[in-house]
Amino acid sequence: MSHRSTQSKPKRRIGKDNLWGWIFTGPFAVIFILFLVIPLVYAFYMSLFTYTQISGTYFSGFANYIRVVKDSVFATGLLRVILYTAVMVPIQLGLALGLALLLDSFKKKFASFSRVVIFLPYAIPAVIGALMWGFMYSKLMGPFTTLFSLFGLQAPDFLSAGGIFGSLVNVVTWQWTGYYMIILYSALQSIPSELYESARIDGANEAKIALHIKVPMVSGSMIMCTIFSLIGTLQFFTEPTILRNQAPTVIPAEYTPNMYAQALAFGYNQTNYSATVSFSLGLIVVIFSIIFMRLTRRSNGLGD
């Protein structure tokens, strides 16, 4: 009797723990299904159809995906965001890592104030941030125009064809560097202080400690930040859309794949092809992320 009773208690305990696990994860699962899985399935379903004014909506299979492969507008926008990715990701993560290392060496009271100041741009909504920078870039009333005029100089045209790339890089870097800095700074705080003490005893200075101890120890967080930055840049949308109001000839409606999908859906009434473009971009983002994770795992000697 006693043996059976001792066996039944762990089973009941496990069952109760599983129940509480489902209760806590249930709300997230419901939101995940409603706002991610179902929209993805619906977008894929819509991408298999084509609408014309003559024939109406009809099933076209993967014809829209073949069209995407041959679409020069989509290819141009994709190459453009890949170029932005190649420039913005290293700048953002390099600044974030440098600031995190700098703050980690400060005293606590000064570091707390600095963290808030650096993180503040991320707390500002992206739309408001883009509007603010659009005002600052303005040649008519922007502060840069006033500042340069004080020295008798002409302010550069930040919203020209030659300046828009750097202007958008600046806006996004300003917006997201603080977010990645917080992640890396938190990772630095988890490193045992005994490692630093041992390194100092061995004669290592602060630069060597940062290069040979701190940076390798936060490599996992760096990989996570890189994936976040890759995904965000490949889905570039908010900032060019807002600045397009001031530079419509420089930033066309098809400037990025996401903007192209919006133009197709709401400007050209091609909802089905817009869904195809969106789903194709999602697949490309997933492929890029998987390739990057595999490359980083192999470089770290983790294998498959």
pLDDT tens sequence for the chain (304 residues): 445 554 555 555 556 667 887 888 889 999 999 998 998 899 999 999 998 878 888 999 999 999 999 999 999 999 999 999 999 999 999 999 999 999 988 766 677 788 889 999 999 999 999 999 999 998 888 898 888 888 888 889 999 999 999 999 999 999 999 999 999 999 999 999 888 889 888 888 888 999 989 999 999 999 999 999 999 999 999 999 999 999 999 999 999 999 999 999 999 889 999 999 999 999 999 998 898 888 887 666 555 4
Range of the domain at 28: 19-61
Distances in Å between the alpha carbon of 234 and those of 22, 83, 248? 34, 10, 21
The reply to whether 3 falls in a domain is no
The reply to whether 5 falls in a domain is no
The reply to whether 10 falls in a domain is no
Identify the pLDDT of residue 167: 96
Identify the pLDDT of residue 68: 96
Asked if residue 115 and residue 165 are part of one domain, the reply reads yes
List the CATH number of the domain containing 268: 1.10.3720.10
Bridge partners for 1 per DSSP: none
The reply to whether 6 falls in a domain is no
Asked if residue 158 and residue 37 are part of one domain, the reply reads no
Number of domain units in the chain: 2
**How crowded is the C-beta side of 119, counted as CA atoms within 13 Å?**
16
Asked if residue 129 and residue 48 are part of one domain, the reply reads no
The residue among 5, 30, 61 that closes a domain is 61
Own/partner pairs, 259-264, CB within 8 angstroms, 24+ separation: 259/77, 260/73, 260/74, 260/77, 262/237
The reply to whether 76 falls in a domain is yes
Identify the pLDDT of residue 107: 63
Asked if residue 74 and residue 53 are part of one domain, the reply reads no
The reply to whether 252 falls in a domain is yes
Q: Which residues of 31-50 are buried (b: 16+ CB within 10 A; e: fewer)?
A: eeeeeeeeeeeebeebbbbb
d(CA 51, CA 273): 9
Identify the pLDDT of residue 21: 79
Asked if residue 126 and residue 45 are part of one domain, the reply reads no
Asked if residue 239 and residue 210 are part of one domain, the reply reads yes
Asked if residue 98 and residue 23 are part of one domain, the reply reads no
Asked if residue 217 and residue 123 are part of one domain, the reply reads yes
pTM, two decimals, is 0.85
The reply to whether 9 falls in a domain is no
**Residue 251, helix vs strand vs coil:** coil
Asked if residue 185 and residue 56 are part of one domain, the reply reads no
Asked if residue 247 and residue 228 are part of one domain, the reply reads yes
Asked if residue 290 and residue 143 are part of one domain, the reply reads yes
Q: Which residues of 176-205 are buried (b: 16+ CB within 10 A; e: fewer)?
A: bbbbbbbbbbebbeeeeeeebeebeeeebe
The reply to whether 164 falls in a domain is yes
